[in-house]
């Protein structure tokens, strides 16, 4: 059973210094649950039409390179069944089908507007992606169902252990989970520089794409969420503690961005 949390515990941690791993999920939920449940739907409805273009600007044109780097971690076989969690505009599903058109690709996201853009993108290319709008904390799929599950650029907004446990449940034994996200760098200087850059990016993209009030009001949240998120090594530890095996991590830019690959154990 996790240790009890003193109501004043969160104030004991300095900015830029996340709480211990044992308390991380509880304090993340305590601090961000209102944003997660009441505000993010409006944010993603606002940014959906320009989400991909804004990310390309914020990444200085490297967005597709990041996608290709993530995709290089995935080994595919014809006819496999895949699930992209928090699929957004279906960038991963489309990339999977470009590599192996025989895949059965499923996508789940809570944002109707993001998936509307994603379905349009896939349809324009002649790809079929089975889309579900729903809560990724309780995946509406049977146990041992997917060969591959992917999750990219959304975990900072989720109850990590609940979602990762659900992914483990729906994976087939021997199946693989591929995760990619912005992470909290373990080097404090890099971390501070990273956050300063992100603050500038949020301001610039908000201006260029004329972001609405919901997105503009969440600029501080996006930095706060990273401050209380995981480093690459910490996320690897979380995966192992939940029961994944063969966990491998790859980081870019001193840990600012990380990709993880983990497997569901085969039965004895």
Model confidence pLDDT, tens digit, residues 157-208: 999 999 999 999 999 999 999 999 999 998 889 999 999 999 999 999 988 8
Residue 229's pLDDT is what?
96
What is the spatial distance between Cα 231 and Cα 251, in angstroms, rounded to a whole number? 10
Arithmetic mean of pLDDT, 115-144 = 97
Condensed to tens digits (0 to 9), the pLDDT of residues 23-70 reads 999 999 999 999 999 999 999 999 999 999 999 998 989 999 999 999
Is the distance from CB of 258 to CB of 250 less than 8 angstroms?
yes
Domain 29-263 belongs in CATH node 3.40.50.150: yes
What is the spatial distance between Cα 198 and Cα 1, in angstroms, rounded to a whole number? 36
Global pTM? 0.90
3-state secondary structure 91-120: HHHHHHHHHCCCCEEEEEECCHHHHHHHHH
* pLDDT at residue 8 tops 90: no
**Domain extents in the chain:** 29-263
């Amino acid at each position: 059973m996790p240790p009890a949390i003193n109501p004043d515990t969160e104030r004991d941690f300095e900015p830029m210094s996340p709480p211990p791993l044992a308390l991380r999920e509880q304090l993340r939920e305590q601090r961000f649950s209102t944003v997660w449940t009441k505000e993010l739907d409006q944010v993603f409805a606002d940014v959906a039409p320009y989400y991909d273009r804004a990310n390309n600007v914020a990444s200085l044109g490297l967005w597709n390179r990041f996608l290709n780097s993530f995709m290089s971690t995935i080994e595919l076989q014809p006819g496999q069944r895949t699930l992209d969690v928090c699929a957004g505009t279906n960038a991963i599903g489309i990339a999977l089908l470009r590599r192996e058109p025989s895949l059965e690709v499923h996508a789940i996201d809570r944002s109707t507007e993001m998936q509307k853009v994603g379905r349009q993108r896939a349809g324009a290319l002649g790809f079929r992606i089975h889309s579900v709008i729903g809560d990724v904390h309780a995946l509406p799929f049977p146990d041992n169902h997917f060969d591959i599950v992917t999750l990219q650029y959304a975990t900072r907004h989720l109850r990590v252990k609940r979602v990762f446990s659900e992914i483990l449940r729906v994976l087939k034994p021997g199946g693989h989970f591929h995760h990619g996200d912005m992470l909290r760098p373990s080097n404090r200087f890099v971390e501070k520089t990273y956050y300063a850059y992100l603050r500038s990016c949020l301001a610039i993209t908000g201006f260029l794409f004329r972001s609405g009030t919901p997105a503009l009001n969440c600029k501080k949240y996006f930095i706060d969420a990273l401050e209380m998120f995981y480093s690459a090594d910490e996320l690897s530890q979380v995966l192992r503690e939940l029961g994944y095996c063969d966990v491998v991590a790859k980081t870019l830019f001193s840990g600012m961005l990380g990709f993880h690959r983990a497997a569901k154990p085969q039965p004895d």
